[in-house]
Every structure is written in C-alpha cells, then in structure tokens.
Amino acid sequence: MHERRESIHGQWSSRMAFILAATGAAVGLGNIWKFPYITGENGGAAFVLVYLLCLLLMATPIMMTEIMLGRRSRRSPILGMQALAREGNASRHWSLIGWMGVASGFLILSYYAVIMGWALAYVFRAGSGMFEGMSAPAIRAHFEGFAADPEKLLLWHTVAMLLTLTVVARGVRGGLEGATRWMMPLLALILVALVGYNMGSPEAFYQALSFMFTPDFSRLTPQSVLIAMGHAFFTLSIGMGAIMAYGSYMPERVSIARTTLIIVAADTVIALMAGLVIFPVVFANGLEVGAGPGLIFQTLPIAFAQMPWGTMFGALFFIVVSIAAWTSAISMIEPAVAHLVEQRGFTRVRATLLLGAIIWAIGLLSVLSFNLLADWTLFGKTFFGLLDFVTSNIMLPLGGMLMALFAAWVMRADSTRQELGLGRVSFALWRLLAAFIAPVGVLLMLLSGLGLWQ
C-alpha cells in the first residue's frame, strides 16, 4: 500500500489553479514565436495535422506520466525519482532523470530569459510608435542593432530574470498560482481581441484559415514530420521536471487524465490562435510566411508600421509574447528551487535568489553570443545556439523518454493505475502509448537531432 506523502511546498488550491499553472508552463515562446514560423516553413495545414497527431499520441501520454510521477512522489524531481525508485525496488540511478530535468530547465532559462527580454523591449518599442513610417530595411536594421548592443540586451535580460524570480520567491500559492491566475486569462483575452481585429480583413483572414486548415500533403516531407513530432513534445515543457514539480502540488482527487487533456487542448488552441493573429497580418502585407525565427521581431513590425492601429496592435502582440514567456520561465526554475528547499533546508527566497544569480550569470554568455562573442563558436554554434541544441535535441527528449519508460516498465502496474485513476481499457491504452509509441517517437527525434537519422 502506498503511503501518501505531502509536499512541504503546499499544493494548488484547486483543479483550475493547477490547469492554469500547467498551461502557463506549457504556453511559451514555442506557441507564439516558434509554432507560426515552423508552420510557415513546413507547408501549413498538413504540418498542423501531423503536429496534432503527434501531440495526441506522443506528448500527451508523456505529460500524464510526468504529472503522475510528481503527484506520486510529492517531491522535487530529483528526490521524487529517488523515492519512486525505492518504492519500485529499482536502481537509485533512476534519480538521474530528475537531475537531468532540473539541469535542463536551469540551462534553458539562462537563454530563454534573453529572448523574453527581447519581447519586453519590443512592447515599449511597438507601443511608442517607434516603427511607424520605418521602411522594412530600417526595421530589420533596428533589430540587428538592438541585438548587437550588449548593454541593452543585458538590461532586458536582467529585467526578465527579476520578473521571474519575483514570482517564484513568493511560493506555490502566493507566487506561481497567483501569477498564472491572472496572466493566463489576460493572455487569452488579448489573443481573442487580436484575432477579432484580424477578422476585420476578411480576405487575409480567410487566406490564413485556408493555409492553416486545408491540408496539402504534397508539401509535407519526412523532415517536416520530425519537426512536428519535436514541437509537439517541446510545446508542453515535458522532460525538464517543471511539469513533475507542478504535479507534486496537485490535489489528490483531481483526475490526471482529464486535466492533462484540458491542458493539451488549451495549449493547442493558444498556438492555433497565435497563427490566426500572425498569418493574416503576414498575408495582408505580402510578407513571407516562412520567414523563420525573425518572423515576430523583424517581419511583423514591418506590418505593424503600415496597419491602422498598428501601434496598439503591435504593443498588445508583444505583451502576449512576454506573458507567454513569463509563465514558462517561472516553471523552469521551480524544480531547482524546490530541490534546494527540500534537500538543503534553504528558505524559498534564498534558494530563488541564489539560483537566479547563477542563471543570470550563465545568461550573460547568451547575451554576448549576439555581439561581442558572435564569432566564438563550438561545433559551428554560438554559446546561445549550443545551449539551445543540447537542451532541446538531447536533454529534453532523453528525459521525457526515460520518464515514460520508468513509469511503464519499472513502476508497479498497480501503483501507476492507482495514481492515474484509469479504467482497464484506458490504462492499457496509456501503457501502450507510454511504453512503446511515445519512446520510439522520441528516440527517432533524438537521433534526428543528433544527425544520426534522417
């Protein structure tokens, strides 16, 4: 019989509080920044359809698994995996999954805060009307000049980190829950307003709908399928321990399966809404849908400069990007903070400040990757690019795959069935997905990311 544990950090006040917090962790720059441009690069609707299938068959069962591991252990990822390994009479080395997750979130936040800083800076740039009357070359030159200025990037990187630490230091209910309780509805409200604004240009809006929802499978390539698979995995923030940490604060009687499906649905709706915000603007202004990572910082401001109410539209758009980045950023540092509080007896404020200072310092190298250290490369990548590659292509998929394998093959079936609360058929389906389909998909993605399989 499993001895019920309690998290020393407290728990979410309700099921809705957990849904908002976990959705906030999942919704980030991947939804607003990355999803639209990779959709544009990979043919639109056919890519979206494959992405949704990957989300359902691979990412959802792994997210259920990570939440289940967190709630079962009621500990931070490192100590939680140790406790679960002991419960299953398994090797203590399974705790390395927890270490990998905490390290992943730690490293990702160091460069994620840099991009969050860009978004915060562009709220004020767009809102002040800076882009009005500027030509396309001038707007692109402005971004290049901004990225080339280490002092400006450092300032906004620091602001992003301070905003993140302020929330995390206040604890589960006072900080994480309190922040996401207002940030997520605000993000959704602004997105709805921006989609409504775009509906005022019926031709461009219809073109965007057709692009996103009328599949042309001739434009789909094997590489596109792998990209869809990878994004389905990363969009839910799986594998870095954040969802496991949030799961450890989850109320006992809340259904993991139903809650996970709600979170996945909310994350997907927000990503699709982001496309309906961005693509009508792109089509209405004759811009390139596959403009790549520079889409929102270099391409969209060109449109804002020419649109009616473009100043307000641009400011609201970058507020959405900033909120999405902020809700994800607080989840990335939470597992490491929780570990110091549990293992070392640190106060939450002390743990947050110490870890925040280290992450901020590592982030300096990412800041300098765009200017003073732009010519310094390792394996052909800047420090920023190397961190992104190692965490996104190795650490996260490996962590997610190992969590699924641990839950499906190492934990006792009665333990997982008890925690998931699934019936016989539903449990068999979860186990099929977690034990076979999801790990194989993640393995292919891992090999592709390492260039070992195409």
Start-to-end Cα distance in the chain:
46
| Beta carbons within 8 Å of 109's beta carbon, 6+ residues apart | 164, 329, 332, 333, 359, 363
Residue 80 one-letter amino acid? G
- Please report the pLDDT score of residue 1 as a whole number: 42
**Does residue 264 fall inside a structural domain?**
yes
**Does residue 7 fall inside a structural domain?**
no
Q: Which CATH number goes with the domain that contains 313?
A: 1.10.4160
Angle between helices 310-339 and 77-87 (to 10 degrees): 50
pLDDT in tens, 48-63: 999 999 999 999 999 9
**Does residue 10 fall inside a structural domain?**
no
**Does residue 1 fall inside a structural domain?**
no
Q: Return the closest-CA partner of residue 5 out of 419, 451, 448, 436.
A: 419
The domain containing residue 387 runs over which residues? 15-449
Nearest-angstrom CA–CA distance, 338 and 171: 10
- Please report the pLDDT score of residue 285 as a whole number: 80
**Does residue 325 fall inside a structural domain?**
yes
**Does residue 4 fall inside a structural domain?**
no
- Please report the pLDDT score of residue 140 as a whole number: 86
DSSP, residue by residue, 245-284: HHHTTS-TTS-HHHHHHHHHHHHHHHHHHHHHHHHHHHHH
Question: Interior CA angle at 108 toward 33 and 282, to 5°?
Answer: 5
- Please report the pLDDT score of residue 431 as a whole number: 95
- Please report the pLDDT score of residue 4 as a whole number: 60
pLDDT in tens, 264-321: 999 999 999 999 998 888 888 887 776 666 778 887 888 888 778 889 989 999 999 9
| Beta carbons within 8 Å of 25's beta carbon, 6+ residues apart | 237, 242, 243, 246, 327, 328, 330, 331
Nearest-angstrom CA–CA distance, 334 and 244: 10
**Does residue 331 fall inside a structural domain?**
yes
**Does residue 5 fall inside a structural domain?**
no
- Please report the pLDDT score of residue 309 as a whole number: 85
- pTM score, whole prediction: 0.93
Nearest-angstrom CA–CA distance, 205 and 191: 15
List of the chain residues with pLDDT < 50: 1
User: For residues 356 and 340, is the Cβ–Cβ distance under 8 A?
Assistant: no
Provide the number of structural domains found in the chain: 1
Q: Quick one: DSSP state of residue 378?
A: B
Q: Which three-class secondary structure state does DSSP give residue 381? A: strand
